[in-house]
Chain A
Amino acid sequence: MKKLCLLVAACACILSAADDAILIRDVTVHPVTAPVIEHGAVLIENGKIADVGSTLQTPSGARVIDGHGLHVYPGLINAATNVGLSEISSLRDTVDLDEIGTFNPELRAEIAFNPSSEHIAVTRASGITTVVSLPGTGGGISFSRNQQPTVIAGQGALMHLEGWTWEDMAVKPSAVMDMDFPQIRMVPAEYAAFIPGGARTYQEEEKAYNENLRQVSRFFEDVRRYQKAKAAAGPDFRRDIKLEAMLPVIEGKQPLFIRAEKEKAIKDAVAFAEKEKVRIIIADPTEIGSTGPLLKSHNIPVVLGKTLELPLRDDDPYDSRYTLPNDFYKAGVKFCFGTFDVEFARNVPFEAAQAVAFGLPPEEALKALTINSAEILGAGDQIGSIEKGKIADLILTDGDPLQAKTNIRQMFIAGREVSLESRHTREYEKWSKRP
């Protein structure tokens, strides 16, 4: 019986088939890449945006939605999550993150993306239609000294938050290569007690860092040798899946998604990209330092983590993380927002909003949740704005989607209306009715 209910619920998710035409009219359209259209309309056909304008003809047989003053935005994008790969973060059995090994470029997040994860619907509820799901969580402070830190965690995928299988859901599989760049991370004194053998001294950390850098260089040398060997080899060439998986990176087809927290790590990563001639994205920086001009001149984009974070150092300004997105904006660096987690992936609009409170222009915050995200992830021609020919990922709201008090009323992913119900609303419905 329970199974049957679930099945019915799953079917109810998809209210209309993708090939139906839908006209959404009498709405304020926020195309993001073009000026706002008051009393505008959006036409969806075959899962794509067929037209956008002030007055659109209703094709025969099209479903018509009268927005009555509601707003239409492109579906929001969270550019860094672990959604689909982790259900209950404290229970390892439900978590498929951080595989064993230092270099794991052959791992692909999309193939372990659980299409039945409860997090998918919960994340959607905030107007998010697409996420990047990453195979790693970054090194952070390693509490286990016995294990080599992971440098390359695998490939992150750009996933729609709707579909029957991970294949259906993948907008861009293998979108990025998730890499934790070697950096010196001192363990704060208060955590030293939790680490077997105690915290390492700066000199020890520095030694490990230099060794890690050498390892990374060696690995890239191996990849280049492999590339040459493969080009020169005959039909009996034996493939190595690890090195093979790196070819798109060194050929510039797949960006390295480099987690670099501090100024030095960012500089190291940029120098590394120059030396190896690879495309990179800087991920989850906690400060900009003097790297603004460097990132701008090298045209390197940034995926920011949470804005609502504590300052890096005790004597940093209290709002140093709140102003960080605006710091990147002022430096002319292209950026977008992510959350680097699962359970709060739905709060990415609020992370962007906090940056607005501390100086970022609101239209830039919206771009950093839509078009910038799409472009940085190499899907700028598919999603991220309301433009003719793009995938019809749309949300109908009663206000600014960056505001908590705004309600997301309807959602379309690839032209299909998607339910905004989730585990959370189901509990609400059920228990509100308890006599």
Chain B
Amino acid sequence: MRRAFLILWAAAGSLFGQALLVRNTTVLTVTKGTITNGDVLVENGRIAAVGKNLSAPSGAQIVDGTGKFLMPGIIDCHSHTAIEGGVNEGTVSDSSMVNIRDVINPTDINIYRGLAGGLTVSNVLHGSANAIGGQTIVIKLRWGKTAEEMLFEGAKPGIKFALGENPKRQGYPSSFFSQGPAERRYPGTRMGVEQVIRDSFIEARNYQADWKEYRDRVARGEHPIPPRKDLRLEPLVEVLEGKRYVHAHCYRSDEILMLLRVADEMGFKIRTLQHVLEGYKVADEIARHGAGASTFSDWWSYKIEAYDATPYNAAIMTRKGVVVSLNSDSDELQRHLNLEAAKTMRYGGLSEDEALAMVTINPAKQLGIDDKVGSIEVGKSGDLVLFDRHPLDNYSKVLKTWIDGHEYFDRDKDLSERTEFARKKKELMDKEKAAAKEVTP
């Protein structure tokens, strides 16, 4: 039913979606260089042509991009935006049974604010309270649509892992200097974090084997009792089978290496290392495992495991062959990931294209959606952002944001609607005040 609805909705979109032609602008394709005085045509939600002097199909919306800059929609590989209620199910050390998909709030104003910063796709994750957190999803910021309609079609779901200080915090004993938690929860050390992950995957492999045996026996015509369904182990089996990505929060080089080795031993892959502030110390190992690294531009020193952070992290890992993205982890920071990317030019001397890749094609690769988004190429989604200046210029701002060729943000429209919103708000406030007066004796 759900799927049928999605297909219907997608079909409706392509049937009624207006073609879009952005004309005479600087096109930052990210993967295929920069075209000055270029045009980009979007039809049926996808990029139909990229070049010069393209002709508009009849009825197409034409946007004059003269003097402006067009880049692919920005992708955030680490977001907690649009999560309704708690971000952490922190009561247990392995909470793989819970799913972010169940708690997406499509009316979170930060979705709109993200669009106003050129953001079009977010990897929405749980927090880092437990060694194995919950299931994660990728959304497109289709503001005004339902939670279901925001899901990125075809994007592989993920699961959040967390290493280091955060997952062990619930396990600290009280000390002479500090009060521990009221109730301690295993693990309280990095060694314990490793064991939680190892234990869970040993269980998951047994569980996988039990089901395989069951299915084999059924195939042989036997009538065995099925194993008991375990909602905690199911997603871990999906990880083992490559159907679900692991996004692992980590800081220190020792724990990064630990996780790669556990994954090697258990036979699964780490898709992305998140934050990964000391990734630069084990960049070769990360590259060899094939994990992506999604880091901050310049966060450091807010805790001891962030004290060896360096803003050159992204540059070192890039030079060592790791696919690197810059993420926000923040409702605010997600609004200017292009400016975060600009910092990699100062810290490590990355090129403009390398810097832009940090927030477009690289996170797309990390999320396995680079065939659909992340660059301006024919066949990809019409996820585009128009800037008034080069997006790596700190004086730039977003003018328009499109997803699938639909306009989701327009600065002029936003500005012109403000008076009306202010009037409506005042009307409501006056009504409220009047009602309050009536009640007061």
Interface residues of A (CB under 8 A from B): 87-93, 118-119, 122, 308-311, 314-315, 317-319, 322, 342-344, 346-347, 350, 353-354, 356-358, 362, 402-407, 423-425, 427-428, 431-432, 434
A276 to chain B, nearest CB (A): 34
Residues of A within 8 A of B393 (CB): 403
Listed residue (A87, A346, A403) with the most chain B CB atoms within 10 angstroms of its CB: A403
23 CB < 8 A contacts A-B = A87-B301, A308-B333, A310-B110, A310-B113, A310-B331, A319-B116, A342-B301, A353-B395, A357-B395, A403-B393, A403-B394, A404-B345, A404-B346, A406-B346, A423-B310, A428-B280, A428-B310, A428-B348, A431-B280, A431-B283, A432-B319, A434-B281, A434-B283
A88–B301 contact, CB under 8 A?
yes
B232 to chain A, nearest CB (A): 26
Is B421 engaged at the interface, CB distance under 8 Å to the other chain?
yes
Interface residues of B (CB under 8 A from A): 109-110, 112-113, 116, 177-178, 280-281, 283-284, 298-304, 306-312, 315-316, 319, 331-333, 335-336, 339, 342-343, 345-348, 389, 392-397, 414, 418, 421, 425
B303–A90 contact, CB under 8 A?
yes
Cα–Cα, bound, A122→B301 (Å): 11
A2 to chain B, nearest CB (A): 15
B280–A358 contact, CB under 8 A?
no
Cα–Cα, bound, A310→B335 (Å): 9
B301–A350 contact, CB under 8 A?
no
Residues of B within 8 A of A407 (CB): 346
A47 to chain B, nearest CB (A): 29
A289 to chain B, nearest CB (A): 14
Cα–Cα, bound, A344→B335 (Å): 17
B38 to chain A, nearest CB (A): 23
A315–B310 contact, CB under 8 A?
no
Cα–Cα, bound, A322→B113 (Å): 12
Contact partner, B316, options A88, A356, A403, A431, Cβ 8 Å: A431
Cα–Cα, bound, A429→B396 (Å): 32
Closest to B396 in A: A357
Cα–Cα, bound, A434→B339 (Å): 29
B177 to chain A, nearest CB (A): 8
Contact partner, A317, options B281, B316, B348, B418, Cβ 8 Å: B418
Closest to B348 in A: A428
B281–A431 contact, CB under 8 A?
yes
B339–A404 contact, CB under 8 A?
yes
A405–B346 contact, CB under 8 A?
yes
Top 7 nearest A-B pairs (CB, nearest first) are A353-B394, A428-B312, A404-B342, A405-B345, A90-B303, A424-B310, A427-B310
Contact partner, A402, options B280, B283, B394, Cβ 8 Å: B394
Residues of A within 8 A of B333 (CB): 308
Residues of A within 8 A of B315 (CB): 428
Cα–Cα, bound, A264→B268 (Å): 57
Cα–Cα, bound, A91→B178 (Å): 10
Closest to B115 in A: A318
Residues of B within 8 A of A119 (CB): 301
Cα–Cα, bound, A68→B393 (Å): 24
Residues of B within 8 A of A118 (CB): 301
B425–A315 contact, CB under 8 A?
yes
A357–B394 contact, CB under 8 A?
yes
Residues of B within 8 A of A319 (CB): 116
Cα–Cα, bound, A427→B283 (Å): 13
Closest to A90 in B: B303
B267 to chain A, nearest CB (A): 28
Cα–Cα, bound, A317→B421 (Å): 10
Tell me whether A308 and B336 are in contact in the complex, defined as CB-CB below 8 angstroms, given that A347-B298, A356-B395, A402-B394 are known contacts.
yes
Q: A87-B301, A428-B312 are in contact. List 4 more A-B contacts (CB 8 A).
A: A308-B333, A357-B395, A425-B310, A434-B281
Residues of A within 8 A of B113 (CB): 310-311, 318
A424–B312 contact, CB under 8 A?
yes
